[in-house]
Chains A and B, each alone.
Chain A
Amino acid sequence: MKIEYSLILAIALAGPLVLSFSKELTIYRSARRLLLSVALPLPVFLAWDMIVTARGHWSFNSSYVIGVYVGNLPLEEVLFFVVIPFCAIFTWESVKYFLREKR
């Protein structure tokens, strides 16, 4: 399935995205905080990914990506560096929330 990589990202994102609007969390308190935390590492990891993809560290199976490329990376791979950090931030805030409640 060409949409398989996109589907994985969508499945990963769905829960965190919905639950991130919970009033118990403060994820959207500052837009700057959210944007900068996701955006600052992005160029470093994209450059890393593009360089090593060109060198042959890894490759993307064309059967499972929609076929839109940013340089030598499938669009899905670029979105990975936005989706996964967001899921991580959500998870981090949830862990902090649950540990705080137990005190």
Chain B
Amino acid sequence: MSHEGPVPQSDGLTRLSIDATSDAVRTALAEACGIWASQAADPDLCAAAEQVLAEVLNNVVEHAQAGKSDGTVLLDTAVRGGKVHCAVLDDGVELPDLQLPPGHRAVIGDDLHSLPEGGFGWFMIRAMTHSLSYDRANGWNHLEFSIIHNKSA
């Protein structure tokens, strides 16, 4: 699927089509930040939303779409009532047990070599979102979330 740039939707959302690569995620994040700024989200809200969206899209690329070359990832987003709303749709593998991962904070012990190098993503998503839901239908993952100012600032 080729990159087409932002497409306005009839319901006020803007849609981005994103290739399932980490470089395409970078491009999409820059475009999403542009959309939010143009819809009067302040810089702190944009930064928080970018952080969450990065973790969500990285998960999609690294897990749901892993090993697929022709996958589709879509983002529908808008700023409404001081919140950034995002819906991420992708046709990859479903989340384990069709559920959002618990996203516990990674445990930091005293031993240097047991320090976690991963497992931060879902914790950050849960800590920084105002609402978060997941649905699987007709072979598509549908992850929806909103971000407000100052959640875990």
A and B: interacting chains = no
B residues at A contact (CB < 8 Å): none
